[in-house]
Structures are given as C-alpha cells and as structure tokens.
Amino acid sequence: MVRYRVRGGNALRGTAFIQGAKNAVLPMIGAALLAAKGRTVLRNVPIIEDVRRAVELAEAIGAYVELHESERTLVIDASRLSSPVLPAEIARRFRGSVLFTPALLHRLGEAIVEGVGGCNLGSRNLDFHYLGYKRLGAIVDEGETVIHVKASGLTGATLYLDTPSHTGTENLIMAASLAKGTTVIENAALEPEVLDVIDILTKMGARISGGGTGFITVEGVDELHAVEHTVMPDRLDAGVFAMAAAITGGELSLVGTGLDLGVVRYKLEQMGVEFSRQGAVLHVRCEGPLRPINIITDTYPGFATDLQSPMMTVAALADGTSYIHERIFDGRFALAGELNKMGANVEVKGSRAVVRGRTPLTGTQVTAHDLRSGIALVLAALAAEGETVIESGYLIDRGHAHLAARMRALGADITREISER
C-alpha cells in the first residue's frame, strides 16, 4: 500500500522538470511491438507505474524489454512475440493493455484479453475498439471475463468514432497500419499525443495522413521497422505543476521543449495566474487572490477532463463560486467528497459541480479514487493547514514520476510511504 503524507503551507518555488507524456508513451510501446525485427528505442520515458505494467505486459507476450530508469529510456525488441494472452494479473491494473492488441493480431493472428483495468471512471468502456477491429475483419468473442479477438488478416475500411477518443484513435491507426488497403478514421482525436504516436509510426514506415484534422487516412504497408523516438512532454504533468504554483502562491519555471498548456493556461490566467515564456521554459507565478472560474470539459482542444479534478481543487481556494460541467467521464466527481472532508464546499448535481470558495482547507486522511483525483488531493494538501494523508497513492504513481522528490525540490513537505496494509 502506498500513501502520500503532506504538510501544507509552503509556497513552491524553483524549476520543475516535466516528464514525458504518459498518454503518448503507452501507445508507443504498443507500436514498437508491430516491428518484427530490430530494437525500438524510446527516450524521455516517464518512470511511472503504468510504464512498468506495460513493460511487464510486453515481456509476458514474449518481447525483450530494457527499462533504463536513470536515462529514462526504453529499449524494445519484439522480434520473438510468443503468446497472444494479455494476462489478467497485469491487464486488470492497466487499461492501456488494449493498445497491445493490434500487434498481437498482426503478429500472432489473435489477442486474448483476460482483464482490462486502470482508473474507475464510471461508464467509459472499450466497445468502440473492438467494433473497429470487427470493421477491419477481425472476429471478436466477448466472454464474461475474457475477450478473444482473431484475425487471419485485417482489411482497410471506413471507421467512425462516436467520440474522438485518443486511445481509440491510436489503437485503430496501429491496426490499420499493417492492414491491406486503405482505412479512413472519421471523428478522430486531435490531441498532440495522437500526433506524436503518428510521428513514430510514420518513422517506422506507416503511411498516415490527416493527423490533427479529425479525418485520418491510413494506407496499409507490409511491414514496420524499429526506430528511435523521443516522447513529447506531458501536458497534464505540466498543468499540475502550474496549479501547484497557483494554489501555494508560488513561482515555478516549467522545463519542457515546446510545452503548450492550451485552454488550461487561459483558464488559470482568468483566475489570476501569470504565465510568461522564455524559449522552452514556461514561467508560472501567482501572488494575488484567485478568482472563480467556469469550466466545461471537452475533447481536445477543449478543457481536458484529466485536469478537471486538479482544477476543482484550485477553485476551492478561489474567492467566489466556480461552476464545473463534466461532459466526458461521469466518475470524475468522486473527488468532491474527499475535498469536503478537508473543508471545501463542493456540491455535485449529476454532471455539474458547484464549488463555493474561498474555504480554508485542513489536513486529514483522504483517499484517491483514481489518478487525477489523487493528484488533486496532493494539491489540496499543499494548500491545507496541517498534515494530510492520501491513501491509495499507487493511483498517483500511475501517472506522475517521482512526484514526492520533484515537489520536495520545490519546497513542498511531502513524503511517499509504503505500508504493509
């Protein structure tokens, strides 16, 4: 069991080094498995629990993987894939396991998914992935505990995503890259992480056009080869550190090449947070009181649902009433009850939340319900009076590398603890 212990009251100051993007590196590991020979090298890899689970899963199906933590580098040799089974003991803790199915279908002719895990986020599911495989010619057998996908060969088709999921887009692009003929994906996701995945696939020899337009065309090729690629910076990690500066009245320099926070930056600026760019470094500071805000989550380029929970914490410290409408995942508001334990005033009605600030926060014991609520509770603890203990800290480790060490370097009083129970 992992927990975080935080004593609030310190303003964060200094330089924060932003990790590589979780939502880019996981599909890249899946893409590396498409190469039947050679070794793929991924750099700027975040050393997070989801990457560790991805490495375990790749090894379970026969890949040779080296994770060099100090160099933040992954080396993947997928020339000898041997098992189509994605075992439940790993897959149920790692929702990204679905990203391994395209390689298994092309390399071994089948994929057996024994469990699908990750965060508990209400009604979201993976049906559209398997419907896409069917459209490409796969046979999908869904049991109570196992999903078995078989394909003697995939053939290009026109696919439409009901919602522009970045994972669904990446998955279907990978499946289409080695399919015969042309695949068109309509209503595709626009996230920068999707473009980064398209970039590595193109280096590998895939023929993909239309990235960033919502209308992607993939011309199937006979093979993909191993390459070297540097993972883009993590926008969500950067957003969290920007909010840490805001909520503690601090001043941080965020180091990350070409980092763009998009609408999150604009919303924080509306709340009174100041940003300035110096080349590849983004400077964030906040001195005055925070102003309330209205937020509606949406797919990219809208406000990212992954940063809604941390922003709820920031809103609890604003002078006035903020309104949040969650349009993506109906399980995101599990944070509200935990914040209220600390003294916040958050009222949830369906997919909307009303956050009445400013309310002083007091440290207590709280529980992370998913990755994003966990990091939001860390932010709340930084601004709270006294000590906060955050249980289920493993969920935070799924997406943020060496969080306690990075925040301590900025002046936070935070420790990561491991207990027997």
The CA distances from residue 199 to 31, 195, 242, in Å, are 11, 6, 27
**Residue 419, burial from CB neighbour count under 10 angstroms (0-12, 13-18, 19+):** exposed
346: left (phi over 0), alpha (psi -120 to 50) or beta: beta
Are 318 and 288 in contact by the 8 Å Cβ rule? The answer is: no
- Annotated active-site residue 286? The verdict is no
- Is the predicted pLDDT of residue 256 greater than 70, yes or no? yes
What is the per-residue pLDDT for 109?
Answer: 97
Q: pLDDT, tens digit, for every residue of 282-341?
A: 999 999 899 999 999 999 999 999 999 999 999 999 999 999 999 998 778 999 999 999
- Is the predicted pLDDT of residue 118 greater than 60, yes or no? no
**Residue 22, burial from CB neighbour count under 10 angstroms (0-12, 13-18, 19+):** buried
Mean pLDDT of 205-212: 98
Q: Give per-residue burial for 321-351: e unless 16+ CB within 10 Å, then b.
A: ebebebbbbebbbbbbebbbbbbbebebeee
What is the per-residue pLDDT for 128?
Answer: 73
What is the pairing mode between strands 251-255 and 281-285? antiparallel
- Is the predicted pLDDT of residue 154 greater than 50, yes or no? yes
Q: Is 341 marked as a binding-site residue?
A: no
What is the per-residue pLDDT for 257?
Answer: 62
Backbone CA torsion sign across 48, 52, 58, 61: negative
For the chain, percent of residues with pLDDT exceeding 90: 88
3-state SS string for 193-255: HHHHHHHHHHHCCCEEECCCCCEEEEECCCCCCCCEEECCECHHHHHHHHHHHHHHCCEEEEE
Selecting among 90, 111, 116, 119, the annotated active-site residue is 119
What is the pairing mode between strands 147-150 and 139-142? antiparallel
Q: pLDDT, tens digit, for every residue of 24-60?
A: 999 999 999 999 999 999 999 999 999 999 999 999 9
d(CA 140, CA 126): 13
* pLDDT band of 123, cuts 50, 70, 90: very low
- Is the predicted pLDDT of residue 127 greater than 90, yes or no? no
Q: Is 173 marked as a binding-site residue?
A: no
Q: Is 22 marked as a binding-site residue?
A: yes
Mean pLDDT of 175-192: 97
Q: pLDDT, tens digit, for every residue of 67-94?
A: 999 999 999 999 999 999 999 999 888 8
**Residue 264, burial from CB neighbour count under 10 angstroms (0-12, 13-18, 19+):** buried
All domains in the chain, ordered by first residue? 2-19+233-418 (3.65.10.10), 22-230 (3.65.10.10)
* pLDDT band of 278, cuts 50, 70, 90: confident
DSSP 8-state code for residue 368: -
Question: 393, 296, 397: which is closest to 353 by C-alpha?
Answer: 296
Q: Is 125 marked as a binding-site residue?
A: no
Mean pLDDT of 173-194: 97
What is the per-residue pLDDT for 122?
Answer: 43
What is the pairing mode between strands 13-17 and 413-418? unpaired
Q: Is 234 marked as a binding-site residue?
A: no
- Is the predicted pLDDT of residue 258 greater than 60, yes or no? yes
What is the per-residue pLDDT for 116?
Answer: 62
